[in-house]
A and B are shown apart, each in its own frame.
Chain A
């Protein structure tokens, strides 16, 4: 009731004022409110994202060792150094290998988990929680468990104990790069940690598939199982699958903790972020070269993201559904 009154009053007042003045006041009020609401966030964004990026770009043109306020301008020296640095280019290969394994494996595994949990008739909530729980564990803690108890090289490590039942000799999972068993350790720890989260995404998508589709398929003679899965379930999950693959790629790119904690003093198995960490914060503290590497990576990521958008059609709205 009061709303109507106020609106009436406001309208009455508006007619008495000149439209121009009212408009200007409105815009100013809106601008103020805009800054008021977005301000704190924008300040945070500027301080923690844009200034560091800008600073990093600035550092990449300087000789910056043991300092972040350098004075010697070196042009593109840092870029040529990083691009010809075998370690840096190797790290890009490492990342590619890692992504080529972890993305499809996690996709398939979490989809499998979701399908199983989806079909459960009882204790569904229990299993959903059980599979989701590892998501809450920190990468560092999980890496230490993997390194020190499951894949430790001594005879009482879990993996070696199991192998010894079959008469297979102890394996040095992480120390010995031939054969590269360390990939098994790295892939399994990440799989265990993240599969549950993507399982939840797939579960939600599965529950959204209308049952009528399955009924219609059954009437048309589709066999339950593989055929139904291939022609009904999988196409219906396309949007979710695309999103999951994108998220997995981003997560794989950000991988740091498990590599850093599992592989000590190696010259292999270093994805770009670990390599840059050692360049910038390790024994050299070469912030110039580190920043140049970060810039190169940024350009690469932009290119890959654009290509991906083009091929997978993510974010194109209706089409991707």
Chain B
């Protein structure tokens, strides 16, 4: 361009100014919409996985709204991969201040969660001792248990009667029952689309465990390998419900009559009872080897505070306010939507809904056969055994080889955690 007239300069100046504005505007927009109020320090963000029961999201938001010292925003994380969304968010600046998860030692070793001993110590005696134990590492308490969720089998009494099958008490009987209960309309058993939810119960019911007390591998036994082969038999023969539109944590499969026996959790009990009335019973995962005993997974969710949050103290205060002080809300959360066993002894004792009928049986299984979280059993190890299920039960591979492969991963992890 050779022309340099005044009119041209004006146009360019305007253009430059506009470009400059656009550039700064663009930069300013970065980091603007984080969902927090700017700089007041009175806002907290919490992550929850999406509970399936109606009204749960509203309930969590209602409790948060009742807190007057901070504005608490809830991120309700839908989808099946809450762990990876949570783990990746924790590394960023937009990490939640509080989140629900299970006690796992790597989060403590890497300094991701804050020590909650000071708020837990005064009320420690009112919590289920097993829950306190699973949240205590190096003498400190790292999380506040909100709910305990036993997982077991639901079965349709009428279907078992019609097929002439007694509720199975051993894994062999379960395999047999699955075969007898399978018709062209109904499958025998639902162990989840990926079969992974019964991995731990299988280990426990052979009398083995995931890890020893000294944090060494304890799952790699001949009995576990044999149990995997039995699961494979059910899978291969087409007696398992697979690729169901709703996975195991949702009671749809059993309520819609797709299956006679389903692995699910206590949380689904109100919905199942409403749909099936008296035509439902519950049993633990049956004994899988001589010397073993039936097993129930005592899962559940706990509240943690992000140690890198800008408002650790405020977040702790909120967790204390809601999950330690507000018994009314804790009771509502445990009993008004799905059924969960309150970890607070005082609440569990006054929970009349859990005193009779099927819920009382659930509590009995929880107390008698339940296995609580082992914080040393981390997500990487969980995934290693999920791969064992995939390789053996679904793909038909040799259990020994698959367990050997898992050993390598678990040992690598154990070495990193405990040296």
Q: Which residues of A approach B to under 8 Å, CB–CB?
A: 3, 6-7, 9-11, 13-14, 36-37, 39-40, 43, 65-68, 147-149, 151-155, 157, 169-170, 172-178, 264-268, 277-278, 281-285
Chain A's closest residue to B247 (CB) is: A264
CB <8 Å contact, A153 and B244: yes
* A-B contacts besides A40-B22, A282-B87, A283-B380, 20 pairs, CB < 8 Å: A43-B23, A66-B112, A67-B91, A147-B243, A149-B245, A152-B245, A172-B242, A174-B243, A176-B235, A178-B395, A264-B80, A265-B194, A265-B390, A266-B194, A281-B84, A282-B83, A283-B87, A283-B382, A284-B379, A284-B380
Whether, in the assembled complex, B106 has its beta carbon less than 8 Å from a beta carbon of chain A, the answer is yes
Interface residues of B in 348-382 (CB under 8 A from A): 378-380, 382
In the complex, which of the residues A65, A267, A281 contacts B390, with contact meaning CB atoms closer than 8 Å?
Answer: A267
Which one of B2-10, B167-175, B281-289 contacts A? B2-10
Complex partner residue of A282 from B80, B84, B106, B416, CB under 8 angstroms:
B84
Out of B3, B16, B383, B387, which one reaches A36, CB within 8 Å?
B16
A154:B23 contact, CB within 8 angstroms:
no
Q: A267-B387, A282-B84 in contact; A151/B243 too (CB < 8 A)?
A: yes
- Can you show 17 pairs from A to B with CB atoms below 8 A apart? A6-B7, A9-B5, A10-B3, A36-B19, A40-B23, A65-B110, A66-B91, A67-B91, A68-B91, A149-B245, A153-B242, A157-B245, A175-B242, A175-B243, A176-B235, A264-B80, A285-B91
Q: Is B380 touching A169 in the complex (CB atoms < 8 A)? A: no
CA distance A28 to B267 in the complex (A): 71
- Given A40-B26, A176-B235, verify A155-B185 contact (CB < 8 Å): yes
Looking at chain A's contact residues, the main secondary structure is loop
- Chain A residues, Cβ within 8 Å of B238: 169-170
B87 and A10: CB pair below 8 A?
no
Chain A neighbourhood of B243, CB < 8 A? 147, 151-154, 157, 172-175
A-B residue pairs, 3 tightest by C-beta: A153-B243, A283-B379, A172-B242
* B-chain residues with CB within 8 Å of residue A155 when the two chains form the complex: 184-185
Contact of B83 among A65, A147, A176, A283 (CB under 8 A): A283
Quick check: B245 and A148 within 8 Å, CB to CB?
Answer: yes
**Chain A-chain B contacts (Cβ-Cβ < 8 Å), number:** 114
Min CB–CB distance A39 → chain B (angstroms): 7
Could you say which residues of chain B place their CB within 8 Å of the CB of A152?
243-245
Among A7, A173, A278, the residue within 8 A (CB) of B3 is A7
Determine the distance from Cα of A6 to Cα of B6 in the docked complex, in whole angstroms.
9
> How many residues on chain B are close to A (CB under 8 Å)?
47
- Bound together, the chains give a CA A152 to CA B253 distance in angstroms of 13
B269: CB under 8 A from chain A?
A: no
Residue of B nearest to A265 (CB): B194
Complex alpha-carbon distance, A126 and B80, angstroms: 38
Tell me, in angstroms, the Cα distance from A169 to B379 when the chains sit together. 37
Whether A175 pairs with B394 at a CB distance below 8 angstroms is: yes
A7-B91 Cα distance, complex, nearest whole Å: 59
Specify the chain B residue showing the minimal Cβ separation from A280.
B88
Q: Which of A148, A170, A268 is within 8 Å of B395, CB to CB?
A: A268
Asked if A39 meets B23 with Cβ closer than 8 Å, knowing A169-B238, A264-B194, the reply is yes
Q: Which of A6, A149, A177 contacts B5 (CB 8 A)?
A: A6
* B258 A154 Cβ-Cβ under 8 A: yes
Q: For B379, list chain A residues within 8 Å (CB).
A: 282-284
Q: Does any Cβ of A come within 8 Å of B400's Cβ? A: no
Cα A153 to Cα B416 in complex, Å, equals 40
Are A177 and B185 in contact, CB atoms less than 8 angstroms apart? no
- The CA of A37 and the CA of B8, in the complex, are separated in Å by 17
Q: Which A residues touch B266, using CB under 8 A?
A: none
Q: Smallest distance from the beta carbon of A226 to chain B beta carbons, Å?
A: 41
B194/A153 in contact, CB under 8 A:
no
| In the complex with contacts A154-B258, A176-B235, A281-B84, A265-B245 CB distance below 8 A | no
Chain A proximity of B15: nearest CB distance (Å)? 8
Per-residue contact bits, chain B 8-52, to A (CB 8 Å; 1 contact, 0 not): 100000001001001100100000000000000000000000000
Contact B19 A7 (CB under 8 A): no
A73 to B217 CA separation, bound complex (whole angstroms): 30
Interface membership of B176, Cβ < 8 A:
no
The complex places the Cα of A266 from the Cα of B112 at a distance, in Å, of 28
Q: Is B57 an interface residue (CB 8 A)?
A: no
In Å, the complex CA distance between A39 and B2 comes to 24
Q: Is the CB of A175 within 8 A of B194?
A: yes
Whether the pair A66, B110 counts as a contact (CB closer than 8 A) is: yes
Question: B378 to A283, Cβ gap below 8 A?
Answer: yes
Closest Cβ of chain B to A44, distance in Å, is: 8
CB distance B380 to A265 under 8 Å?
no
Contact residues of B between 175 and 198, Cβ < 8 Å to A: 184-185, 193-194, 196
Note all chain A residues with C-beta closer than 8 A to B23: 39-40, 43
Please tell me which one of the listed residues B87, B244, B383, B389 contacts residue A154 in the complex, with CB atoms under 8 A apart. B244
CB distance from B183 to the nearest CB of A (A): 11
Output the residue of A36, A40, A43, A154 with the most chain B CB within 10 A.
Answer: A154
* A91 → chain B closest CB, angstroms: 14
Given the interface pairs A6-B3, A7-B3, the reply to whether A265 lies near B87 with Cβ below 8 Å is no
Contacts of B193 in A (CB 8 A): 153, 174-175, 264
Q: How far is the CB of A17 from chain B (nearest CB, A)?
A: 11
Most-contacted residue by chain B among A11, A173, A178, A283 (CB, 10 A): A283
Chain B window 385-399, contacts with chain A (Cβ cutoff 8 Å), 1 for yes, 0 for no: 011011100111000
Q: Is the CB of B196 within 8 A of A265?
A: yes
**B residues less than 8 Å from A13 (CB atoms):** 4
Whether B380 lies near A10 (C-beta < 8 A) is no
Q: Which residue of chain B has the shortest Cβ distance to A155 in the bound complex?
A: B185
Given the contacts A6-B7, A66-B112, A266-B394, A176 and B242 also touching, CB distance less than 8 Å: yes
Contact A177 B244 (CB under 8 A): no
Is the beta-carbon distance between A153 and B390 smaller than 8 angstroms?
A: no
Indicate whether A267 sits within 8 Å of B395 (C-beta atoms), given known contacts A40-B19, A40-B23.
Answer: yes
Give Cα A13–Cα B2 distance, bound, in whole angstroms: 11
Q: In the complex where A177-B394, A283-B380 touch, is A66 in contact with B84 (Cβ < 8 A)?
A: no
Question: Which residues of chain A are within 8 angstroms of B391 by Cβ–Cβ distance?
Answer: 267
CB A128 to nearest CB in B, in angstroms, measures 34
Contact of A10 among B4, B389, B390 (CB under 8 A): B4
Bound CA span A300–B413, Å: 30
CB distance from A172 to the nearest CB of B (A): 4
Chain A residues within 8 Å of B4, by CB = 10, 13
